[in-house]
Amino acid sequence: PGCNTKVQLGAMFLALFGWVSSCVTTFVPLWKNLNLDLNELEIWTMGLWQVCIVQEEGATECKAHDSFLALPLELRVSRILMCLSNGLGLLGFLLASLGSDCWKICEEKPDLKKWLLLAGGAAFGTSGIMTLAPVSWVAYNTVLEFWDETIPNIVPRWEFGEAMFLGWFAGFFLAAGGLLLIYTTCLNRTETPDVPSAVCLQRPAMEGPAGISPWSHRSHPKTADLVI
């Protein structure tokens, strides 16, 4: 149906926007910001792959993290989960494209297209969860460190960067797109119920020797008493 096709397209565009945002979140060094009170002309930013210093003149100097094992646990896990999320999002887009009604591929196999669409929606949903989990974990640790009373007040504190908000939106869009795709597969099932064939509903035509149906003798049983 046309309505179902529009829902599929909307879900795929929603998930595609989330996947692109998730890829941007993975690689930009804007997960955390640090403002130095001693030098207000510089802003430090941190990502999963590098640390950058943004100066007031607009110059930016970045340095990659020295070692993966030297990173905090949440950043190491976030690297792995975000990369897996990006791969799952790409796989989900390919599966959902093959299973959508817009493509004429495998039209003679509707069950295969339904399972491809279902697998694409599940991949999108899993990708969204794998994006939300590391972003939320890093945000939680950032809040704990910001309000840690054991750290002197003169020590600068890391704060939320723009990439963390983008990551939350990306995970939400991926999960919403995946759920919509799964919903369209259930919609297809409810719109095409199993209707018994008309042949099965017909009364079998049985005729006697003279070509008269035996049902005719039972049509008016009470009229037999009126025959003289």
At 5, is the pLDDT very low, low, confident or very high (cuts 50, 70, 90)? confident
Quickly count: other Cβ atoms within 10 Å of residue 180's Cβ: 20
pLDDT tens figures, 137-174: 999 999 998 888 888 777 788 899 999 999 999 999 99
Report the pLDDT value the prediction gives residue 38, as an integer from 0 to 100: 60
pLDDT over 90 (residue 179) = yes
At 222, is the pLDDT very low, low, confident or very high (cuts 50, 70, 90)? very low
Report the pLDDT value the prediction gives residue 198, as an integer from 0 to 100: 38
pLDDT tens figures, 42-65: 888 999 999 998 887 778 889 999
Q: 94: which 2 tokens?
A: 């390919």
Report the pLDDT value the prediction gives residue 107, as an integer from 0 to 100: 64
Cα 66 versus chain centre, distance: 34
- Mean pLDDT on 91-118: 81
Strand partners, 62: 52
pLDDT tens figures, 189-209: 544 444 443 333 344 444 455
| CA distances to 30, 78, 85, 135, 202 from 82, in Å | 15, 6, 5, 9, 60
| CA distances to 85, 125, 170, 201 from 181, in Å | 18, 10, 17, 36
- Mean pLDDT on 105-115: 75
- Mean pLDDT on 104-119: 79
